Amino acid sequence: MKKILVTGINGQLGYDVVKRLALKNSKNQVYNVKGVDIADFDLTDKKAVSSFVEAFAPDIIIHCSAYTAVDKAESESDMCFAVNEFGTKYIAESAKKLSASMVYISTDYVYNGLGDAAYEVEAPTIPLGVYGKSKLAGELAAKSLVDKLFVIRTSWVFGINGNNFVKTMLRLASDRDTLGVVSDQIGSPTYTPDLADFIAYIITTDRYGTYHFSNEGFCSWYDFAKEIFNKANIKITLNKILTVDYKTVAPRPLNSRLSKKKCYDIGYKQIPRWQDALCSYLKELKR
């Protein structure tokens, strides 16, 4: 029975990855899965990371844990890099020592967001802010140490365990009748159970490398919000806002479109459209 360590179990993705891996995989195998978070060890403490990971001795490490406060990262760059670069490096060092394979979850923020074409995995990485730079540094750290490595870049994540855009929109609509939402940032929402399915698939292969995963189809945050309220039968007036008029501490990529071509190239099944994923999520929230 293969042992799998999943970091960030208290986050949106880590929670659903552990839930998904508790089921049998495509080869009818069962895993010994251990989900961990900050209470188990501090990612920024090299000794704590190595002693915990090497004591459990996993065959596969799925590294979902990250510093994700995009705006706060601009004033907390040391902490952001300590978690996203050095924490990843410590995990990767243990993976190398154990000859384990590793999955590292990265982000659309490694790109500068120019143009309107979907980014292929080989596209030049030019992050705009501290968060994107730290996640790219994590990618490079893992790549320098681990041969059996999957890097998965994703975007606009939403899941049952934690805060996200869908929950924010539903909360704001409960006490407002008008909302302004950014309409010129384009990307793809990612439902965490769908990404967890892809991770469960890819770890049964030896097709190591970098992948992009999000749900199919593209939209703006405005389009996303409009669909949320339509599907939830909420009447609200939505106004379009341009990025230049919606000031944030950290810059946001205007183009977060990610090409899933490489997922299909390795034989992965059809990825659900984001509208269908949103339906599934709203049903999950009701339950």
Task: Go through 125-161 and write b for each residue having 16 or more CB atoms within 10 A of its CB, e for each that does not.
Answer: bebbbbbbbbbbbbbebbeebbebbbbbbbbbbbbbe
Amino acid found at 25: N
Q: Which is the catalytic residue, given 15, 131, 268, 281?
A: 131
Amino acid found at 27: K
Amino acid found at 254: L
Torsion, CA 8, CA 13, CA 14, CA 16, rounded to 10:
160
Distance CA 62, CA 102 (A): 6
CB 155 within 8 A of CB 108: yes
CB 67 within 8 A of CB 83: yes
Distance CA 105, CA 139 (A): 9
Known active-site residue 119? no
Between helix 130-145 and helix 88-98 the angle, nearest 10°, is 10
Distance CA 127, CA 142 (A): 18
Continuous segment of H or E residues that includes residue 194: helix 192-202
Pairing of strands 186-187, 219-220: antiparallel
Q: What residues are labeled active site?
A: 131
